[in-house]
Chain A
Amino acid sequence: MSESTARDALDPLRALFAHDAAKVTAMFLAIWALFYAFGTVLGYGNNGLLALVRRVTFLAAVYGIVVLALNIQWGYAGLFNIGVAGFMAVGAYTVSMLSGSPTGVPPGLGLPLPIGILGGMLAATVVGLVAALPALRLKADYLAIVTVALSEIIRITYNTPAFANITGGASGFDNLPTSPANALLLSDPSSTISEPTAVGEAVFSLFAQFGIQRFTAINTVYTVGVLVVLLVVYLVLERAGKSPFGRVLKAVREDETAAQSLGKDTQNFKVRAFALGCGLMGLAGILWFAMGPRASVTPVTFRPNITFYIFIALIIGGAGSNTGSVLGGALFASLLFEAPPVVRNIVTDAFDVSADPSNLIEALVPVAGGDLVPLAGFLLNNIDTLRFIGMGVLLVVLVQRRPDGLLGARKETAAGVSLAANTRPDRSDAAGNGGGDGE
């Protein structure tokens, strides 16, 4: 009796973890715990700890949004878009131009932020469609070529001195729109030392009790906002994916001719999926680069390597799964992107590797004599760049060993209702119908 009640008590917990929400929550809690531990080891105070955890959370959230957007295109519909960076750039630049202050340099139009955000998403969608409409008619490879070329054209356009009085050229667009977190918390959103609003007063005094500074508090509020957007985007795409729409997209990915022969206007579905994805990439670009703690939108940010990070994150999580996309984005941003430099700091704090060699040869020579410290020091000091080699290796290993992603959820069913075996209708009253003739 008591055994069964114990099982009953655990069942809800198990059932809960079967839910995707629980997996994502557990992942975020684990990441927070890990970085909290890192910060503690480094001897950070509350402010430093929160700043570290916030930074990781922010990156995990923006990666989550853009990976979700790529997932609807590539994971679901098989549309090989390698111009993600370009669509993010269009979003970030457009919102800056629409909602930046008219008196700043380069001047913006000073439109309200919601209009700017919508405009940025719309611009990313339109740019995507203009380039993709002809390419979507062709085979997947052509779309890949067109999108990567487009992404570079966009970056170079924003970079060129010819348009510098509009775009800011190579030094970037630094007349960014007012962050909504600043507007919420401060009476003068352009100055972080101005009088707080009523909400700001409450928030700042709450954070101050834990010794957290105002700047960190503002960024934390903004990050919470980005998390909320991630949740909304997730819910939207989860519903779009688990529906007849998502089902047709998967069919297009698997075999477009078969989908057409079943009466599906596949071109129309591809265009809609591509537009939706590009719009959300624009949104990710806005949240990531044009608002929050950043000071300017620079063309150099949108080099193609960011596109490949996003692909790695999606492959880690498992293309075709929205939950996998969020998990993959969070894993990539935390463990692969943010953790290595922090770990380096921890190690250099604990061991003396200050006498580091200046190049690989100097680092390798002492290894022959059994002294590994110079090599370790060299690797640690160059971890910022070496981690990208690691990412490349990881990508190769993943594609070979776990093509369905670490979490292997590519085969989630796409339907508005459960398609499990227990959904079979009870047909005891209609035994003569079909199946009963026993061939």
Chain B
Amino acid sequence: MATVSDAGDDIADAAVPEGVDLPEGLEPESADSDVEEGAKEVPRGLPLRVKGLRKEFGGITAVDGASFDVEEGSLTGLIGPNGAGKSTTFNCITGVHEPTAGDVFFRGEEITGLAPHEITRRGLVRTFQIARQLDEMTVLENVMLAPGGQRGESIARSVVPGLRGGVVEQERELREEAWETLEFFELDHLATEYAGNLSGGQRKLLELARALMTDPEVLLLDEPFAGVNPTLEEKLLDRIHDLREQGLTFLLVEHDMDLIMENCEHVIVMHQGRVLDEGPPEQIQDNEEVVEAYLGGEV
């Protein structure tokens, strides 16, 4: 399961899928820039690649040259002590912050510096550490907001009598899809409740449900289990494993080491803005540097 770059060759050979257009300028001599290098190793096997990511806030370097890949269909954990730069890394990947340096590739295309909504539309979708439910909208509205390509987002189509029919028809389909998704997360009994009235754990479920409605390929979950009771946590994990079996890829920021070790097949450890180590859980657990970082030692 290692996704270090020397594994790139065999994955590239094995997994050039149908429907992926290889860029034209793929000859070796033109492949020096980061962009083309990223494109060359396009494989569907590594949907998300982060290279030399760096983010400075004034004099503080929150992320200091982090590089890692996320493998297709994996549940990858991103761990690290407080202030390690995990959330900032997430924010740089998803366009909330523009990185000071470094590149982010999604499906072989550079997405560094794109606006958040553009990144989401490509299929890379995130949730937030503190759930961002839309308080004065019902749970069903929250979920129906998410899908892309909604015809009724055009004023004319929503208003003009002859065009409105298509909007209503699509709304009906979306509503059905939304109910299904809510049932999947066992939130259906709360569908008409305002999101602001949900408990902390239910909000986390709602966020995941909403993110799922955007039809993502890769989901970045920022501490999805924080403030969630054990029963709900179990439920949420089950859902994540279900979705992974359906082909989704997850990158998970989490503080609970046991949870990460039990559920992720690949773990990335960040410390002081850098990737300290990555690999399968057993390898990480044996790494003394990691243990030291978590115990608060200075590295």
Contact = CB atoms under 8 A, between A and B. Distances in A.
A414 interface: yes
Given A261-B128, A411-B194, A272 B155 contact: yes
Max chain A C-beta neighbours (<10 A), residue from B141, B155, B170 = B155
A434 interface: yes
B184 A261 contact: no
A265 interface: yes
Interface string A243-277: 11111101101110111111111100100100010
A425 B238 CA distance: 24
A253 B257 CA distance: 37
B138 A243 contact: no
Given A247-B145, A254-B136, A424 B179 contact: yes
A353 interface: no
A244 B158 contact: yes
Given A419-B140, A434-B184, A248 B117 contact: no
A95 to B, nearest CB: 23
Contacts of A424: 179, 188, 191
B23 interface: no
A423 B148 CA distance: 22
Instruction: Say whether chain B's binding surface is mostly helix, strand, loop, or mixed.
Output: helix
A259 B145 contact: yes
Nearest to A72: B155
Contacts of B158: 239-240, 243-246, 416
B20 interface: no
Interface in A385-427: 410-411, 413-417, 419-421, 423-425, 427
A350 interface: no
Contacts of A419: 138, 140-141, 144, 175, 191-192
Nearest to A258: B132
A430 to B, nearest CB: 9
A439 interface: yes
Contacts of A361: none
Interface stretch (B39-47, B78-86, B105-113, B118-126): B118-126
B265 interface: no
Max chain B C-beta neighbours (<10 A), residue from A248, A253, A261 = A261
| Interface size range on B against A | 35 or more
Nearest to B166: A416
Contacts of B210: 262
B117 A421 contact: no
B231 interface: yes
A18 interface: no
B138 A413 contact: yes
B11 interface: no
A15 interface: no
B152 A243 contact: yes
Contact of A262 (B140, B146, B235): B146
A436 B213 CA distance: 20
A190 to B, nearest CB: 36
A424 B151 CA distance: 22
A244 B157 CA distance: 10
B125 A261 contact: yes
Contact of B153 (A239, A244, A423): A244
B167 A243 contact: yes
B235 A439 contact: yes
Nearest to A257: B132
Contacts of B289: none
A257 B235 CA distance: 27
Contacts of B176: 425
A208 B153 CA distance: 50
Given A239-B164, A417-B171, A264 B155 contact: no
A266 B127 CA distance: 17
A417 B174 CA distance: 10
B134 A250 contact: yes
A423 B143 CA distance: 15
B42 to A, nearest CB: 23
A82 B116 CA distance: 29
Contacts of A276: 155
Interface residues of A, number: 47
Interface string A219-259: 00000000000000000100110011111101101110111
B244 to A, nearest CB: 16
A435 interface: yes
Contacts of B144: 244, 247, 415, 419
B206 to A, nearest CB: 11
Interface string B161-185: 0001001101110011001100110
Contacts of B238: 437, 439
B138 to A, nearest CB: 6
Contact of B192 (A250, A414, A421): A421
A263 B214 contact: yes
A30 B202 CA distance: 45
Nearest to A267: B115
Contacts of B184: 434-435
Contacts of A236: 159
B137 A423 contact: no
B160 to A, nearest CB: 9
B167 to A, nearest CB: 5
B152 A261 contact: no
B154 to A, nearest CB: 7
A272 B157 CA distance: 14
B240 interface: no
A74 B59 CA distance: 38
B190 to A, nearest CB: 10
Contacts of B214: 262-263
A331 B180 CA distance: 43
A435 B186 contact: yes
B134 A417 contact: no
Contacts of A244: 144-145, 150-153, 158, 167, 171
Contacts of A259: 134, 145
Contacts of A258: 128, 132-134
Given A265-B115, A435-B188, 19 more contacts: A236-B159, A244-B144, A244-B152, A244-B167, A247-B141, A248-B153, A257-B96, A258-B134, A262-B117, A262-B210, A263-B117, A263-B120, A265-B117, A276-B155, A414-B141, A416-B171, A419-B191, A434-B180, A434-B184
10 contacts: A240-B158, A250-B141, A257-B116, A261-B132, A263-B148, A263-B214, A411-B194, A416-B158, A416-B167, A437-B238
The 8 closest A-B pairs by CB, nearest first: A243-B158, A244-B152, A263-B120, A416-B171, A258-B132, A254-B134, A244-B150, A434-B184
